[in-house]
Structure 1
Amino acid sequence: MSEQQDVIAVLVADHREVEELFSRLEHMVGRIDEKAETLAEQVVIELVRHSVAEEAYLYPAVREHVPGGDALADAEIAEHVAAERTMKQLEGLESSDTAFWPTLERLMGQIRHHVREQENDLFPRLRQACSEAQLLELGGQVTRAKKMASLGPQSGAARNRDAP
């Protein structure tokens, strides 16, 4: 039986997994390649699962426990909206489209910026504001939410944000 991880460990592991996919894609930049399209699709799936879990559990906990948490959570969600727009653009492209690689590179930049902010600011603040038991409970909730998001045909994409 695996030991339950706290929410920060779970989300940092996700960050590393996505970064590994980004690294693999960076070695393919410019290629017209079905493998690149498959990896890009995998990135989008992982990011959607991650976002669904964060929005369901992480950001409400930030709002509740972290001083200034409302503004922090709002900023994080705004970054999700921007990345979701980029992912939506990417979903309609093939590697032979001139916009494929620039769109993918924009997404990588958005996500890397988001990850740096979380790991350098949000996560330390959350760790300071919550008990280890709270962080472990959140870790379990996030893990379950990611699994559930993987089950649906549209996963988190079904959230359909009202974005222009």
Structure 2
Amino acid sequence: MTTPTKDVVDLILNDHREVERLFEELRSKPATRANNLPVLISLLTAHSRAEEAEVYPVAASEAGAAHDVEHSQEEHIEADQLLARLAETNPSSPEFDTVLQEVVDAITHHVEEEEAKVLPAIRSNLPDSRRAELGEAFLVSRQGHLGEMPGDIRKSELDQQAANAGMPGASSMSKEQTKSALQEKVQQSEEQ
């Protein structure tokens, strides 16, 4: 019997494939939406928080992917906003398909970029032992966030998002100020 992989890149890729599977279920089987929607939102939230806490800081400092991490963090913030909107949309309403498609488009774009830039940097610039160590930390963090929704975010997690997004000074701001500043940074990036 083989031991399951703990390589952080493989773990992240596995989550990406599961999200794609859930997207397909939500699109093709409307009757499963009430059950699958909380699973999707919880998985994406836990996955994002674990990447932000454990993977992105290392990818930026040790794997030479600081610019790509900053962009990925901004996409996480945007995804949180879209997921919150999806969570508030009645799965049987006509607008659900439109909101779901916005989420699918944003997440698919993020996954493609992360798999083309951040994950290859981690795979090529970190030794196997470091990737396994990161994998273990990612799993522990992800497990601790399962069941959370996008709005369930602590001030310390917002501070980490700000650091990942290259936004200094967040630790001296209130939680609401940090959240606002991050959203403003995402908006400015989208406009550029």
Provide Cα deviations, 1:81-101, integer angstroms capped at 9, x if missing partner. 111110111111112333211
Greater relative CO (CA pairs within 8 A, separation 6+): 1
2:54 corresponds in structure 1 to 57
Residue segments in structure 1 that go unaligned for 5+ positions in a row? none
Q: Which residue identity is paired with 1:78?
A: E
2:19 corresponds in structure 1 to 18
Q: Which residue identity is paired with 2:88?
A: G
Matched residue of 2:152: which SS? helix
Check the 8 A contact 2:69/2:118 in 1, yes or no. no
1:78 aligns with 2:74: yes
1:105 aligns with 2:101: yes
CA distance in 2, matches of 1:4, 1:64: 24
1:116 corresponds in structure 2 to 112
Check the 8 A contact 2:84/2:151 in 1, yes or no. no
1:158 aligns with 2:152: yes
Q: Detail structure 1 runs of 4+ shifted over 3 Å in the superposition.
A: 1-4, 153-157
TM-score by length of 2: 0.75
Of all paired residues, the percent bearing the same amino acid is: 24
1:44 aligns with 2:45: no
Q: What count of residue pairs does the alignment treat as equivalent?
A: 157
Matched residue of 1:158: which SS? coil
Matched residue of 1:125: which SS? helix
CA RMSD of aligned residues (A): 2.0
CA distance in 2, matches of 1:143, 1:48: 13
